[in-house]
């Protein structure tokens, strides 16, 4: 099979407009007879299910949580980008497109990203109309803030809970359709396989997580909107249930996996506090606007931070990147923190953390406040108090969250932060239509590989999820379904359904009958450690080769020594977890293979073999300017390369010096 | 029915009825308390008896009395019905609850306080309303004031009345501001004022009522 | 490690919706004060599995206080002893060595127990489906700045919209009333111009569905507000009552 990205002909600016006016349509009477299965109910899934139902399709939507409102899109803090140019600061569709391509280190498709930028304003309008309470200025107009990697203010936000508000908007649209009977919502259901008939996706096998019953669902098309797979690292900012199972099953049924190793490691997370740690919590990127990052100049310095004088502190980001300082992109900031800690300069009990210190800016704000209030001879402590109030106003909820988790007061002691896995740019390979190489099988949102290249800019994930669901899929699905109108619903007694269900059942029984000695988490933690150490922030050929061997070993052990109690016909969270970890154990290997194959540094993927003399990432456009799409072949993978052509943008090596 | 059926059918409607009847009873208590306070004139009950006579004969007052009884009955039966219905909303109770961490005990005990008040009310009506309005138990020259003197000479009656007033105080402490909340009158500026008035009301009215039996018992009023 | 704790847990175990449940005692040892409450449960479950006992089923997902799925009634209070947080944000430093901790599921007719500590809160979804939305199809929207929203209105709408649908309000209420949850959504939309066209119909429909689900009525004890991890205000309930009255008395469609 070959890769065809199906990008429309013509000028970049005209592609999507032309596409929309010429894509085949399905008439309303036929839409009523076409069934679509949407797996996942996050921003992409909920918006797609609602929009498609509004168009008249018969939709079923699945989520593993108890309600579609719980999907992990809800945890996004910062904001959503849109090229509205409300601030009159020179933003445009082209600029958003350009920033996104550059931020992604030139490993994304031009046409997709341009479309994303083009659609972005409509998303804001749609969300406002749904009643999403975006932040407003006193005049009643929408407010914006700036985010990393850009020079304009184009980020729309709702306090530190933008993801929550956008998701609840999409959720309410979805529930409206549920109320009208056009969407059947199946919560606490997990997709465990895709059914492919005559080369086309025709349904799924889902497990009712409450009763344990396996169900067969037919659909003329299947949309996978199941989010990212950062939990392959065990510790990440993802929710506990985030998994790769749906896209992994799809991958094993023929869908190619694009750029699996592209992972975003977010620089400002609360560090691990012990072996008991189950997940990591992000501290919004916006904190870097007002915090200075430092470590002691002396390795192994155990003094309290307040006892370390100014001249014995190393503000390493400001030192290494004077132009951008603390505001370098996420991947750069993360690697720099790792470099310092590895060299022995880390702080805290684990020594795997750096300080994010607000004192400098509290003093700065305090002086401004003092001047405003006419306090000409205010003492340092008065100034600090005034500044503390300003910081409280801006980041109060984040500081509270930090204190709740660590037990330390960040107004008094600098925050300790360390990078953590946050987002996966990789995912199922899709064409311009968001269709995988398996006809009828689509992949939306974080689950696909499409728009962020090798590194995602802040406030772009929400934009992509909603763009895919609200404004792309309603058009692009027509080009496929218009040819399917004659297809009558296939009986779920079809041999392909029976066979798929049988395989799922056997696998579940296998998991339950190994009767070994180790828990699911035991294996998950082991896998996570290998992935973090060898396929994390820095990677090299030797480590990746070792990782592949180690993962295989863990996988073998898993299938020999796992213990899952309870039965298949009840609510059994351990069994759910076991199935997901089993898939992670396969995905991990592919991620390492992909990282090994890509012998260049780009975005979040840093190969130690490919760096400048100063230790900066070195991209190799000559040899690696492509999307790696992996095909699953029994116990192995085959690589296809989709060349990336940059016709509207001049490629340059990123520099933040 | 039509227009007002929501008051009977919906949970909010039922609470609105509780709120409205509650406020009505609150107003009644002011009148009741005001008239009764005339005993403190310590004029041997002259003024009080005149007022009582007026209340017993004025046609408007007598009509309002019917409305009042309807209000009381609706408040009681609706209240009991809601307690019963709300029990159904949690068929299995918690093994451990720490209600004091999140609310006042009297707010959670309106049903209990209301039931105590109902018992008190029956005793109270039997003492005064029943004898004065429905029977000839009062001798021709015996006044309501005399009846009060007689009834409140018994210690157990005084105790019952005091307990009744304590129940009333707590019932009002929650009920007063709760009625406003139910009727939708919650405002950043005015709610603190309503709460303050409610607090004072729920202390002052029961206090004045409480002093009456005590005053008779201790012979302060002759 | 010093400062670590030994604890006794009394946890509600119930095989499934039909089965009878009971509180069962467990011991956990060497619990770090830096652990979250749910991580302590992870430790317990690892211990149970290793011993061959079935682990405790409980709902959890984001573990950062925003998804709203965690739902434990801890020592008599939803989400435990701390104010303004969810169970997943509760840390063990809030407890002392030797403590006994009682953990139960949310209790309400409308939230049937699925297993152990996990309950079914789909009633909330059905209430939203009854009217908790603005009827605007994708593509219908005008420019986001066409309708200015005063900052105070936007902020009030946001404060109500911060609800995470965890159900602590129901769990805390002596009547298992869902008024705080419902009023938060009603008011979010009532504060915005986009919510006006359906304002009256929305409150009627959502209240009707709430009643149908078997939640109790509101006695204004304020327990919901006190236990809400997002500190949703009781003012929302009063405002909903007002809208409800208006919808039934003044709206010609009512």
List the domain range (segments joined by +) for residue B18: 2-91+103-217
* A401 part of contact set with chain C, CB < 8 Å: yes
The answer to whether residues C197 and C241 belong to one domain is yes
Q: Tell whether A398 and A515 lie within a shared domain.
A: no
Q: Is the dihedral of CA A392, A398, A401, A402 positive or negative?
A: negative
pLDDT recorded at residue B129: 84
For chain B, say whether C84 makes contact (Cβ under 8 Å): no
Residue B152: predicted pLDDT:
95
The residues that bridge with A428 in the sheet, in sequence order, are A257, A448
Residues of chain B positioned with their CB less than 8 A from the CB of C217: 11-12, 14-15, 82, 85-86
pLDDT band at C254 (very low <50, low <70, confident <90, very high): low
| Residue B25 maps to a domain | yes
Closest CA to C125 of A52, A51, A185, A46: A185
Residue C64: closest C-alpha in chain A: A281
Task: Give residue C170's pLDDT.
Answer: 98
Indicate the Cα dihedral angle A330, A332, A338, A342, nearest 10°.
180
User: With an 8 Å Cβ cutoff, is A133 touching chain C?
Assistant: yes
Which of A70, A107, A320, A330 is flagged as catalytic? A330
Residues C129 and C85 in one domain: no
Neighbours of B32 (CB within 10 A): 15
- Return the residue of C nearest to A161 by Cα: C162
Does one domain contain both A515 and A614?
yes
Write out chain C residues lying below 8 Å of B188, CB-based.
235
C43-65 pLDDT tens trace: 999 999 999 999 999 999 999 99
Q: At what angle do helices A495-513 and A573-597 cross, to 10 degrees?
A: 100
Strand partners, C92: none
Helix, strand, or coil here: A442?
A: strand
Phi and psi dihedrals of A202, rounded to 5? -130, 5
A598 assigned to active site:
no
Touching check for B185 and chain C: CB below 8 Å?
A: yes
Q: Is the pLDDT of residue A119 over 80?
A: yes
Query: Is residue C37 in a domain?
Result: yes
CB contact under 8 A, A565 and C136: no
Domain count, chain B: 1
Residues C10, C101 contacting (CB under 8 angstroms): yes
- The 3-state secondary structure of A559-611 reads HHHECCCCCCCCCCHHHHHHHHHHHHHHHHHHHHHHHHHCCCCECCECECCCE
C253 CA: distance to closest CA in chain A (Å): 20
How many Cβ atoms are within 10 Å of A270's Cβ, its own excluded?
Answer: 22
* Binary contact (C138, A50; C-beta < 8 A): yes
Residues A275 and A389 both lie in one domain: yes
* Beta pairing partners, A639: A630
Alpha-carbon gap, residue A344 to A404, rounded angstroms? 28
Q: Are C66 and C35 part of one and the same domain?
A: yes
Q: What is the CATH number of the domain that holds C200?
A: 1.10.1060.10
Write the CATH number for B156.
1.20.1300.10
Q: Which of residues 183-242 of A touch C (CB under 8 A)?
A: 185, 187, 210, 237, 239-241
**Which 3-state string (H, E, C) describes A446-506?**
HHECCCCCCCCCCCCHHHHHHHHHHHHHHHHHHHHHCCCCCCCCCCCCCHHHHHHHHHHHH
**Of C115, C139, C164, which residue constitutes the final position of a domain?**
C115
Task: Give the pLDDT band of residue B138 (cuts 50, 70, 90).
Answer: low
Q: Which of A332, A602, A255, A656 is nearest to A453 (CA)?
A: A602
- Digit-coded pLDDT (tens) for A556-582: 999 999 999 999 999 999 999 999 999
Distance of alpha carbon A166 from alpha carbon A80, whole angstroms:
9
The mean pLDDT of B24-36, rounded to a whole number, is 96
For the question of whether the overall pTM of this predicted structure is more than 0.90, the answer is yes
Residue A5 falls within a domain, yes or no? no
Q: How far is C98 from chain A (nearest CA, A)?
A: 20
C95 — contact with chain A (CB < 8 Å)?
no
Name the closest residue on chain A to residue C121, using Cα atoms.
A66
Per-residue model confidence (pLDDT) at position A75: 95
Do C128 and C243 lie in one domain? The reply is yes
Q: Mean per-residue pLDDT for A640-652?
A: 94
> What residues of chain B lie within 8 A of the CB of C241, using their CB?
12, 15-16, 181-184
* Dist CA A139 CA A130 (whole Å): 21
The pLDDT score that the predictor gives to residue C10 is 98
Core vs surface per residue B165-184: b (16+ CB within 10 A) or e = bebbbbbbbbbbbbbbbbbb
- pLDDT score of A1: 58
Specify whether C234 is located in the same domain as C193. yes
CATH number of the domain to which A321 belongs = 3.90.700.10
Q: Name A294's bridge partners.
A: A355
The pLDDT, as a whole number, for residue A129 is 98
User: Looking at residue B142, what is its pLDDT?
Assistant: 80
- A32 within 8 A of A165, measured Cβ to Cβ: no
Contact assessment for residue A615 and residue A119, using Cβ atoms and an 8 Å cutoff: no
Cβ–Cβ under 8 Å, residues A264 and A425: yes
Q: In this structure, is residue C254 part of a structural domain?
A: no
Residue C38: HSE in the Cβ half-sphere, 13 Å Cα cutoff: 25
CATH number of the structural domain spanning residue A554: 1.20.58.100
Taking residues A267-286, report their average pLDDT: 91
Which candidate from C40, C59, C165 shows the least CB-CB separation from A69?
C165
CA distance to A368, A377, A382, A391, A423, per residue, from A374 (Å): 10, 9, 13, 20, 47
Query: Taking 60 as the threshold, does the pLDDT of residue C1 lie above it?
Result: no
Q: What is the DSSP string of A30-55?
A: HHTT-EEEEE--SHHHHHHHHHHHHH
Distance between CA atoms of A436 and A250, rounded to whole angstroms?
9
Compare CB distances from C217 to B6, B11, B181 and report the shortest one's residue.
Answer: B11
DSSP A327: G
Is B98 a domain residue?
no
List of chain A residues whose C-beta atoms are within 8 Å of the C-beta of residue C49: 519, 563, 565, 574
Listed range (A22-31, A238-247, A438-447, B56-65) with the worst mean pLDDT:
B56-65
Tell me, what's the pLDDT at A78?
82
Alpha-carbon gap: C57 to the closest alpha carbon of chain A (Å): 7
B199 domain-assigned: yes
Q: Which chain C residues are within 8 Å of A80, Cβ to Cβ?
A: none
C-beta atoms surrounding B72 within 10 Å:
17
pLDDT at residue B139, as a whole number: 66
- Phi, psi at A463, each rounded to 5°: -60, -45
* Residues A580 and A245 sit within 8 Å (Cβ to Cβ): yes
Kindly state whether residues C231 and C168 are assigned to the same domain. yes
For C62, nearest residue in chain A (alpha carbons): A239
Cα separations (Å) of A63 from A227, A241, C167? 11, 11, 19
Do C94 and C137 sit in the same domain of this protein?
no
B67 within a domain of the structure (yes/no): yes
Query: Domain range holding A516?
Result: 499-619+628-634
pLDDT of residue A288: 84
Distance to chain C for B90, nearest Cα, Å? 4
Do B and C make contact via 3 or more CB pairs under 8 A? The reply is yes
Q: Are residues C103 and C173 in the same domain?
A: no
Nearest to B102 among C215, C217, C223 (CB): C223
In a domain, residue A646? The reply is no
Phi, psi angles (nearest 5°) of residue A611: -145, 160
Residues A404 and A274 in one domain: yes
Contacts of B104 in chain C (CB under 8 A): 221-222
Q: Is A319 domain-assigned? A: yes
pLDDT over threshold 70, residue A73: yes
Q: Are residues A397 and A289 in the same domain?
A: yes
Collect all residues with Cβ–Cβ distance below 8 Å to C77 and sequence separation of at least 6: B97, B98, B101, B102, C172, C227
Predicted confidence at residue A42, as pLDDT, reads: 98
Q: With the C-alpha atoms ordered A366, A367, A371, A374, is the resulting torsion angle positive or negative? A: positive
| Domain annotation covers residue C194 | yes
Give, for B60, the enclosing helix (H) or strand (E): helix B59-88
CB A598 within 8 A of CB A107: no
| B6 inside 8 A of chain C by CB | yes
Q: Considering chain A, what is the average pLDDT of its residues? A: 95
Distance, in Å, from the CA atom of A372 to the CA atom of A595, rounded to the nearest integer, reads 54
Chain C CB contacts of B22 under 8 Å are: none
In 3D space, the residue among B173, A278, A6 whose CA is nearest the CA of residue C35 turns out to be A278
In a domain, residue A296? The reply is: yes
A126/C125 CB distance under 8 A: no
Q: How far apart are CA C90 and CA C93, in angstroms?
A: 9
Q: List pLDDT tens digits, range B197-221.
A: 999 999 999 999 999 999 999 999 8
Task: Please identify, among C70, C98, C115, the residue that sits at the C-terminal boundary of a domain.
Answer: C115
What residues of chain B lie within 8 A of the CB of C172, using their CB? Answer: 102
- Residue A646 is classified by DSSP as -
| C-alpha radius of gyration, chain A, whole number | 25
B96, part of any domain = no
pLDDT band for B2, please (50, 70, 90 cuts): confident
On chain C, the residues whose CB falls within 8 A of the CB of B85 are: 216-217
Whether residue C111 sits in one domain with residue C130 = no
Q: Using CA atoms of A447, A448, A453, A454 in order, give the dihedral in degrees to the nearest 10.
A: 40
CB contact under 8 A, C177 and B88: no
Question: What domain count does chain C have?
Answer: 2
Global ipTM? 0.97
What is the pLDDT, as a whole number, of residue C253? Answer: 65
A293 has which bridge partners? A356
Give yes or no: residues C134 and C55 share one domain.
Answer: no
Within-domain flag for B63: yes
Distance from CA of B124 to the nearest CA of C (A): 27
pLDDT in tens, A459-503: 999 999 999 999 999 999 999 999 999 999 999 999 999 999 999
Distance CA(B216)–CA(A134), nearest Å, equals 66
Based on the domain organization, do C136 and C230 belong to the same domain? yes
B102/C235 Cβ within 8 A: no
Q: Pick from A547, A586, A628: which is nearest to A257 by CA?
A: A628
b or e along C31-66 (b: 16 or more beta carbons within 10 Å of the residue's beta carbon)? bbbbbbbbbbbbbbbbbbbeeeebbbbbbbbbbbbb
Query: Alpha-carbon torsion A646, A649, A651, A655, what sign?
Result: negative
Q: What are phi and psi of A447, to 5 degrees?
A: -65, -25
**Counts for chain B of helices (H) and strands (E), in that order:** 9, 0
Residue B104 touches chain C, beta carbons under 8 Å: yes
Q: Which residues contact A181 (CB under 8 A, 6 or more apart)?
A: none
pLDDT in tens, C122-169: 999 999 999 999 999 999 999 999 999 999 999 999 999 999 999 999
Q: Is the separation of the CB atoms in A268 and A286 below 8 Å?
A: no
Q: Is the pLDDT of residue A398 over 90?
A: no
Query: Domain range spanning residue C19?
Result: 5-115
Candidates A159, A276, A472, A475: best to mutate against C (most CBs of C within 10 A) is A276
Same domain, C18 and C54: yes
Chain A / chain C CB contacts < 8 angstroms: 232
Q: How many CA atoms lie within 13 A of A453 on its CB side?
A: 32
Burial label for A204, CB within 10 Å (0-12, 13-18, 19+), is buried
Q: Is residue A254 part of a domain?
A: no
pLDDT in tens, A330-389: 888 999 999 999 999 999 988 999 999 999 999 999 999 999 989 888 899 999 999 998
For chain C positions 115-144, those within 8 Å of chain B (CB to CB) are: none
Structurally, chain A folds into a number of domains equal to 2
| C81 part of contact set with chain B, CB < 8 Å | yes
- Check pLDDT > 80 for residue A147: no
Contact with chain A for residue C140, Cβ under 8 A: yes
């Amino acid at each position: 099979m070959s890769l065809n990205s199906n990008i429309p002909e013509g000028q970049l600016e005209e592609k999507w407009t032309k596409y929309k006016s010429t894509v085949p349509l399905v008439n309303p009477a036929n839409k009523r007879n076409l069934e679509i299965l949407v797996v996942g109910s996050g921003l992409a899934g909920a918006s797609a299910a609602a929009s498609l139902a509004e168009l008249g399709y018969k939709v079923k939507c699945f989520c593993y949580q108890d309600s579609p409102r719980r999907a992990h899109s809800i945890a996004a803090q910062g904001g959503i980008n849109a090229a509205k140019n409300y601030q009159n600061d020179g933003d445009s569709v082209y600029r958003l497109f350009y920033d996104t391509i550059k931020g992604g280190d030139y490993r994304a498709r031009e046409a997709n990203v341009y479309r994303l930028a083009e659609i972005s304003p409509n998303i804001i309008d749609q969300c406002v109309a749904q009643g999403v309470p975006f932040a407003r200025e006193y005049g009643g107009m929408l407010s914006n803030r700036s985010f990393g990697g850009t020079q304009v203010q184009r980020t729309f936000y709702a306090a530190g809970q933008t993801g929550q508000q956008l998701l609840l908007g999409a959720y309410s649209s979805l529930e409206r359709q549920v109320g009208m009977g056009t969407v059947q919502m199946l919560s606490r259901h997990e997709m465990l396989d895709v059914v492919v008939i005559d080369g086309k996706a025709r349904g799924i096998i889902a497990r009712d997580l409450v009763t344990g019953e396996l169900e067969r669902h037919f659909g003329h098309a299947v949309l996978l909107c199941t989010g990212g797979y950062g939990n392959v690292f065990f510790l990440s900012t993802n929710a506990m249930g985030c998994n790769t199972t749906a896209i992994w099953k799809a991958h094993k049924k023929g869908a190619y996996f694009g750029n699996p190793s592209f992972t975003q490691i977010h620089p400002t997370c609360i560090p691990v506090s012990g072996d008991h740690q189950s997940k990591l919590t992000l501290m919004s990127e916006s904190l870097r606007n007002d915090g200075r990052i430092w470590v002691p100049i002396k390795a192994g310095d155990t003094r309290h931070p307040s006892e370390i004088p100014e001249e014995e502190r190393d503000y390493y980001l400001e030192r290494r990147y004077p132009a951008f300082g603390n505001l370098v992109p996420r991947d750069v900031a993360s690697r720099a923190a790792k470099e310092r800690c590895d060299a022995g300069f880390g702080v805290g009990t684990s020594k795997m953390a750096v300080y994010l210190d607000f004192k400098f800016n509290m003093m700065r704000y305090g002086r401004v406040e003092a001047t405003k209030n006419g306090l000409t001879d205010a003492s340092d402590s008065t100034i600090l108090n005034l500044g503390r109030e300003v910081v409280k106003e801006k980041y109060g909820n984040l500081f509270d969250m930090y204190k709740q988790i660590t037990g330390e007061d960040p107004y008094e002691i600098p925050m300790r932060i360390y990078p953590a896995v946050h987002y996966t740019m990789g995912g199922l390979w899709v064409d311009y239509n968001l269709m995988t190489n398996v006809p009828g099988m689509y992949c939306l949102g974080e689950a696909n590989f499409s728009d962020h290249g090798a590194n995602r800019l802040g406030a772009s994930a929400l934009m992509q999820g909603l763009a895919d669901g609200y404004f792309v899929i309603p058009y692009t699905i027509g080009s496929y379904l218009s040819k399917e109108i004659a297809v009558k619903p296939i009986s779920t007694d079809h041999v392909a359904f029976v066979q798929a269900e049988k395989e799922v059942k056997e696998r579940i029984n296998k998991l339950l009958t190994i009767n070994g000695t180790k828990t699911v988490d035991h294996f998950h933690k082991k896998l996570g450690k290998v992935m973090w150490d060898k396929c994390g922030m820095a990677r090299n050929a030797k480590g990746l080769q070792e990782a592949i061997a180690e993962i295989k070993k863990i996988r073998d052990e898993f299938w020999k020594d796992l213990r899952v109690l309870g039965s298949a016909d009840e609510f059994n969270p351990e069994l759910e977890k076991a199935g997901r970890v089993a898939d992670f154990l396969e995905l991990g290997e592919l991620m390492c293979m992909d990282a090994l194959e890509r012998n260049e540094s780009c975005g979040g993927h840093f190969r130690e073999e490919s760096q400048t003399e100063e230790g900066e990432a070195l991209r190799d456009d000559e040899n690696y300017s492509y999307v790696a799409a992996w095909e699953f072949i029994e116990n192995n993978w085959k690589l296809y390369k989709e060349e990336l052509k940059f016709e509207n943008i001049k490629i340059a090596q990123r520099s933040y010096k | 029915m039509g227009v007002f059926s929501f008051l009977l059918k919906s949970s909010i409607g039922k609470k609105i009825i509780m709120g409205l009847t509650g406020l009505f009873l609150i107003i009644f208590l002011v009148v009741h308390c005001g008239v009764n306070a005339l005993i403190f004139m310590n004029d041997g009950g002259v003024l009080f008896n005149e007022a009582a006579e007026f209340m017993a004969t004025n046609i408007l007052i007598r009509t309002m009395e019917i409305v009042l009884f309807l209000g009381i009955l609706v408040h009681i039966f609706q209240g009991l019905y809601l307690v019963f219905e709300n029990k159904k909303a949690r068929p299995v109770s918690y093994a451990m609850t720490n209600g004091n961490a999140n609310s006042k005990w009297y707010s959670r005990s309106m049903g209990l306080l209301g039931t105590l008040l109902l018992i008190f009310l029956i005793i109270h009506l039997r003492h005064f309303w029943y004898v004065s309005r429905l029977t000839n138990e009062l001798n021709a020259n015996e006044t309501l004031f005399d009846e009060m003197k007689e009834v409140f000479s018994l210690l157990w009656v005084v105790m019952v009345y005091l307990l009744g007033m304590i129940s009333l105080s707590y019932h009002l402490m929650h009920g007063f501001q709760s009625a406003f909340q139910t009727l939708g009158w919650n405002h950043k500026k005015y709610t603190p004022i309503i709460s303050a008035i409610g607090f004072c009301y729920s202390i002052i009215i029961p206090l004045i009522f409480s002093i009456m039996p005590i005053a008779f018992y201790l012979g302060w009023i002759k | 490690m010093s400062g670590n704790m030994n604890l006794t847990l009394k946890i509600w175990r119930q095989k499934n919706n039909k089965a009878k449940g009971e509180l069962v005692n467990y011991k956990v040892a060497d619990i770090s004060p830096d652990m979250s409450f749910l991580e302590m449960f992870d430790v317990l479950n690892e211990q149970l599995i290793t011993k061959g006992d079935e682990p405790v089923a409980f709902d959890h997902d984001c573990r950062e206080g925003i998804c709203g799925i965690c739902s434990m009634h801890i020592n008599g209070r939803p989400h435990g002893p701390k104010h303004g947080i969810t169970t997943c944000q509760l840390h063990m430093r809030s407890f002392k060595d030797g403590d006994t901790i009682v953990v139960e599921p949310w209790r309400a007719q409308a939230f049937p127990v699925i297993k152990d500590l996990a309950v079914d809160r789909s009633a909330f979804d059905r209430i939203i489906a009854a009217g908790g939305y603005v009827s605007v199809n994708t593509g219908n929207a005008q420019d986001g700045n066409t309708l200015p929203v005063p900052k105070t209105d936007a902020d009030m709408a946001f404060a109500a919209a911060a609800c995470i649908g965890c159900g602590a309000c129901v769990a805390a209420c002596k009547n298992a009333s869902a008024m705080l949850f419902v009023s938060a959504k009603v008011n979010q939309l009532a504060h915005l111009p986009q919510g006006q066209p359906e304002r009256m119909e929305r409150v009627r429909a959502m209240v009707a569905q709430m009643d149908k689900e078997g939640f109790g009525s509101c006695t204004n004890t304020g327990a919901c507000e006190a236990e809400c991890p997002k500190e949703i205000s009781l003012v929302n309930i009063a405002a909903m009552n007002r809208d409800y009255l208006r919808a039934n008395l003044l709206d010609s469609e009512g």
